[in-house]
Structure 1
Amino acid sequence: MLDCEVKQVRNNIRYRLLIINNEKYLLDMGQSFLKILFPFTFWILPNTVYRIENEKDLTLTKTPAVKQTKTSYSSFGAGISLMLANLLGPLMDYFNIHTSVLVNSIILFLVILAAVFFRFYLSGKNKKKLEHIVNVKRLQKDKLWIWPKSLKFIFIYLLSYVFFSAFILVGFWVFIEIGNVMMLTFSLIFLLLSFLASGMSIKDGKAKVKFTKHLKAS
């Protein structure tokens, strides 16, 4: 198992720069929709990385590590949800539409489809942005496992994931049952945020990695 330093790629949320034994790799955080839906699988399944050998490419892509703030996202999300519930609770009935469960299910399907399309569009845009700087296809590929170094971070991240997932599912269920547009809107916003936040499973800072085929020589 090797030590790794993770940095964000400048102006591109899809990629991470990994520094392992003074070698530089690009990690593609948008290569699998499964990992976007279930971000903790970044820690379970191997990830494809691209070795950077050209110093010019490295200079154009790397950016100084951003100082992380200690925030409990689950607590923050819970606070926002409770505040919105108190403010909008008396008005929720006004946002009900009188449609059947079937119609609501179709509307929900189309909304989720649009959210997925938006996520793919944003991911593709970030990929093209990087390809203007680095031709990823010519880079040497490798596969590795990567784990956060902090167990506290893993616990908070999983707790936040469960909370937001439960909120989204409950919101979608409420829309299907009673056609409440406000719940659909909130759930959609949380879904889009969860898509974008999937990259936070590999944050800036220290991490542990292990190559699938062999360990790189120290």
Structure 2
Amino acid sequence: MKNVKVKGVTRNIRYRLIYFEGECFLVDSESGCISYFFPFLDWFIPKKMMKLSKENEKKLVVLYNDYQKKPAFLTIYAAIAIAISSFLNRIDVYFDNNLTIKANGVVLCVFIILAITFRIQMSIRAKKMVTSIMSLEAMGEQKIRIIPSSIAYMFKCFGGYLLTVLVCWATTAMFLNNGNWLMLICWLIFFLMILFLNVFSILGEDYKVQFIKSK
């Protein structure tokens, strides 16, 4: 395992820049749709990468935010969950839809499809942003695994993920049984959080990489 610096690309949720031994590499941080639901598989599934020229490196404006120094995800999600539940307890009676559980299930499935479609489109948009600047034909000539150097950061990410899943599961059950539109809105917010959490699995400063294969 070798230590590297990882930087984000401005306004791009998919690609990362890795700095190693004075050179810069572009890495596709996504591992397919499965990483939308299990974001931390990104730490174990090999990633495609390609070496960047100095010219292309300058074209991809680097985002220097160090997410390891941000407040813990767990604290943020807990505060959001408490605030939402406190607010909804007072007004949820006005948003009952009087539908059956089966009808609510159909509505939920429609929103699941729409949310996943939106997430996929965001990923495609991120790829088009990069391909408008450079060719990605060399992407995949080498593959690497990227693992955070900080165990604390890994636990923060995993804790935030578990809390988000629990809230999403709870709001799903509440919507199906009670048919309340506010529960559907809350579910949609937390479901979208799950779909986008893989953005944070490889976004920070210090990581360790393992080179898998070279052509």
Query: The TM-score by the shorter chain falls in which range?
Result: over 0.9
Cα distance change, pair 13–148 in 1 and its aligned pair in 2 (3 A) = same
What number of residue pairs does the alignment pair up? 213
Q: Take 1:22 and 1:161, find their aligned partners in 2: how far apart are those partners?
A: 34
**TM-score, reference length from structure 2:** 0.92
1:7-156 to 2 correspondences below 5 Å: 7-52=7-52, 54-68=53-67, 69-139=69-139, 141-156=141-156
- In structure 2, the residue matched to 1:5 is 5
Cα distance change, pair 115–140 in 1 and its aligned pair in 2 (3 A) = closer
What do you get for the CA RMSD once the two structures are aligned? 1.7
Secondary structure of residue in 2 paired with 1:98? coil
User: How far apart are 1:75 and its partner, in Å?
Assistant: 1.4
- In structure 1, the residue matched to 2:171 is 171
User: How far apart are 1:140 and its partner, in Å?
Assistant: 5.6
Give the AA of the match of 1:162. L
1:144-168 per-position Cα deviation (integer Å, ceiling 9, x unaligned) = 1111010100111101000001111
User: How far apart are 1:67 and its partner, in Å?
Assistant: 3.8
Partners of 2:48 and 2:141 within 8 A in 1: yes
Secondary structure of residue in 2 paired with 1:187? helix
Q: Take 1:109 and 1:139, find their aligned partners in 2: how far apart are those partners?
A: 35
Greater mean deviation of Cα atoms: 68-77 or 129-138: 68-77
Secondary structure of residue in 2 paired with 1:19? strand
Partners of 1:17 and 1:62 within 8 A in 2: no
Q: Take 1:51 and 1:140, find their aligned partners in 2: how far apart are those partners?
A: 10
Partners of 2:28 and 2:49 within 8 A in 1: yes
Partners of 2:148 and 2:208 within 8 A in 1: yes
- In structure 2, the residue matched to 1:194 is 194
Q: Take 2:173 and 2:50, find their aligned partners in 1: how far apart are those partners?
A: 41
Cα distance change, pair 8–132 in 1 and its aligned pair in 2 (3 A) = same
Q: Take 1:177 and 1:64, find their aligned partners in 2: how far apart are those partners?
A: 44
Secondary structure of residue in 1 paired with 2:62? coil
Runs (5+) with no aligned partner, structure 2? none
1:17-68 per-position Cα deviation (integer Å, ceiling 9, x unaligned) = 011222322121235111121111011221222222x221111114152244
Secondary structure of residue in 1 paired with 2:49? strand
Q: Percent identity?
A: 26
Q: Take 1:140 and 1:108, find their aligned partners in 2: how far apart are those partners?
A: 37
Give the AA of the match of 1:182. L
Give the AA of the match of 2:64. A
Secondary structure of residue in 1 paired with 2:44? coil
Partners of 2:30 and 2:42 within 8 A in 1: no
Partners of 2:164 and 2:193 within 8 A in 1: no
Give the AA of the match of 2:30. G
Give the AA of the match of 1:161. Y
Q: Take 2:90 and 2:123, find their aligned partners in 1: how far apart are those partners?
A: 39
Cα distance change, pair 201–91 in 1 and its aligned pair in 2 (3 A) = same
Q: Take 1:104 and 1:123, find their aligned partners in 2: how far apart are those partners?
A: 29
Q: Take 1:118 and 1:64, find their aligned partners in 2: how far apart are those partners?
A: 24
